[in-house]
């Protein structure tokens, strides 16, 4: 299919999005990531029954924490798509990149670079 | 277990604001079980503090430790090295923890990161409820094994009151009337006659009325 998607995205593979915890997303923010999204399987299609639903809740928790910290909650998102949806994967990558570009760089990353 | 919940982040940030070198100290006891102050929560809080400091343009200096328990003097030793260069400690044990740290380390400022809420248990994952008020003289056998002191809004020993409706307490539709539960259970046990027994007034001297409490086990003392 040779689909193009923005080069600024770094893919981190996990066995299931149920493995993704609040601390993993916070660590990314702490290290200066401008945005993070979790790409889980379609809801109802989790091989482990509810991994993607748990991931969605954790993303929600991180959004809450970002708001408390005075950062934009939109910097972290949850998406659902199947492994067969290559075009959708590329579309989400572009959509998220565009959204983060509009928000601008994370103030945490800016401070990290300046230091 | 002792149930506790995290204080709001803003409150904690304000507490530690004047201090540069922070130690976040968790506990592997009750607060790990109620997901408020275990290793995982220590990592999250420390990360939150670091992000907040970075946002303010400061270089964060936050260390993390989770003790076996913060309510035994011997486990306080685990803090000796790590606490040395710290300006302040944020303990996310129940409120016993920060008091133990304050007692052991005279020169260190200690803050409670949690609100200790009650003695209770989990109803389901993520939901905790109060079951005991530590009155010091358990009498739940008189009430079908259910505690009217902790679980009745009025702590009535001769309930239910007029606020009981369809098995719920008048304070909230979410709260069971424990006296309804007591009657139902004694009925099922065929022990309704227990409620006709005359029980002497409860002696509250074992509760807080006698001042701070202490238990001494001579057989265990070294």
pLDDT of residue A113: 58
Q: Would an 8 Å CB–CB cutoff place B48 in contact with chain A?
A: yes
User: B153 and B175 in contact (C-beta within 8 Å)?
Assistant: yes
**Cα–Cα distance for residue pair A19/B197, rounded to 1 Å:** 56
A115 vs B113 pLDDT, higher one:
B113
Contacts of B35 in chain A (CB under 8 A): none
pLDDT tens per residue, range B41-96:
999 999 999 999 999 999 999 999 999 999 999 999 999 999 999 999 999 999 99
Cβ neighbors of A74 (< 8 A, separation 6 or more) are: A35, A99, A103
pLDDT of residue A34: 97
Average pLDDT on B191-208 reads 91
Test mutation, A32, A108, A110, chain B, max B CBs within 10 A: A108
Cβ neighbors of A105 (< 8 A, separation 6 or more) are: A34
Q: Would an 8 Å CB–CB cutoff place B47 in contact with chain A?
A: yes
Average pLDDT on B24-31 reads 98
State chain A's mean pLDDT as an integer. Answer: 94
Reply yes or no on whether the pLDDT at B199 is more than 70. Answer: yes
Sheet with B21-27, edge to edge strand ranges: B61-67, B21-27, B88-91, B109-112
pLDDT tens per residue, range B150-169:
999 999 999 999 999 999 99
With left for phi above 0 and alpha for psi between -120 and 50, is residue B201 left, alpha or beta? beta
A69 and B47 within 8 Å at the Cβ level: the answer is no
A23 and B52 within 8 Å at the Cβ level: the answer is no
In percent, how much of chain A has pLDDT > 90?
92
Q: How confident is the model at residue B214 (pLDDT cuts 50, 70, 90)?
A: very high
**Cα–Cα distance for residue pair B2/A115, rounded to 1 Å:** 43
Q: How many alpha carbons fall within 13 Å on the CB side of residue B158? A: 7
Choose the closest CB to A30 out of B10, B40, B47. B47
CB burial of residue B32 (10 Å; 0-12, 13-18, 19+): buried
B55 and A22 within 8 Å at the Cβ level: the answer is no
B51 and A29 within 8 Å at the Cβ level: the answer is yes
pLDDT tens per residue, range A16-71:
999 999 999 999 999 999 999 999 999 999 999 999 999 999 999 999 999 999 99
Helix (H) or strand (E) holding B64: strand B61-67
CB pairs under 8 A between A and B: 42
**Cα–Cα distance for residue pair A100/A104, rounded to 1 Å:** 6
pLDDT of residue A30: 96
Average pLDDT on B177-187 reads 98
Q: How confident is the model at residue A114 (pLDDT cuts 50, 70, 90)?
A: low
Reply yes or no on whether the pLDDT at B210 is more than 90. Answer: no
CB burial of residue B1 (10 Å; 0-12, 13-18, 19+): middle
**Cα–Cα distance for residue pair B34/B127, rounded to 1 Å:** 9
In percent, how much of chain B has pLDDT > 90?
97
User: B106 and B38 in contact (C-beta within 8 Å)?
Assistant: no
Reply yes or no on whether the pLDDT at B197 is more than 70. Answer: yes
Average pLDDT on B186-209 reads 92
Reply yes or no on whether the pLDDT at A115 is more than 60. Answer: no
Reply yes or no on whether the pLDDT at A110 is more than 80. Answer: no
pLDDT of residue A1: 78
Question: Domains of chain B, with CATH numbers?
Answer: 2-117 (3.40.50.2300), 133-199 (no CATH)
Tell me the nearest-neighbour CA distance from A27 into chain B, angstroms.
7
């Amino acid at each position: 299919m040779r689909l193009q998607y923005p080069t600024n995205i770094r893919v981190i593979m996990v066995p299931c999005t149920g493995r993704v915890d609040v601390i993993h997303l916070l660590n990314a923010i702490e290290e200066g990531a401008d945005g993070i999204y979790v790409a889980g399987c379609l809801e109802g299609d989790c091989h482990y029954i509810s991994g993607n639903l748990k991931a969605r809740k954790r993303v929600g928790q991180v959004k809450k924490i970002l708001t408390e910290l005075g950062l934009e909650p939109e910097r972290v998102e949850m998406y659902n798509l199947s492994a067969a949806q290559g075009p959708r994967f590329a579309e989400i990558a572009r959509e998220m990149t565009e959204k983060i570009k509009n928000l601008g760089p994370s103030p945490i990353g800016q401070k990290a670079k300046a230091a | 277990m002792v149930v506790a919940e995290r204080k709001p982040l803003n409150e904690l940030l304000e507490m530690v604001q004047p201090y540069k070198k922070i130690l976040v100290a968790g506990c592997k006891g009750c607060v790990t079980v109620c997901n408020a102050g275990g290793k995982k929560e220590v990592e999250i809080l420390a990360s939150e503090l670091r992000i907040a400091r970075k946002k303010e343009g400061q270089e964060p200096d936050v260390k993390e430790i989770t003790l076996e328990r913060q309510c035994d003097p011997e486990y306080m030793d685990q803090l000796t090295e790590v606490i040395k260069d710290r300006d302040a400690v944020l303990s996310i044990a129940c409120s016993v923890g920060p008091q133990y740290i304050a007692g052991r380390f005279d020169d260190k400022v200690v803050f409670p990161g949690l609100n200790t809420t009650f003695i209770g248990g989990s109803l389901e994952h993520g939901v905790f409820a109060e079951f005991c008020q530590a009155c010091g003289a358990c009498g739940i056998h008189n009430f079908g094994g259910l505690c009217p002191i902790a679980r009745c809004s009025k702590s009535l020993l001769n309930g239910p009151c007029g606020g009981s409706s369809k098995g719920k307490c008048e304070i909230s539709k979410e709260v069971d009337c424990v006296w309804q539960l007591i009657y139902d259970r004694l009925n099922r046990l065929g022990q309704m006659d227990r409620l006709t027994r005359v029980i002497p007034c409860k002696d509250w001297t074992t509760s807080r009325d006698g001042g701070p409490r202490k238990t001494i086990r001579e057989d265990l003392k070294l």
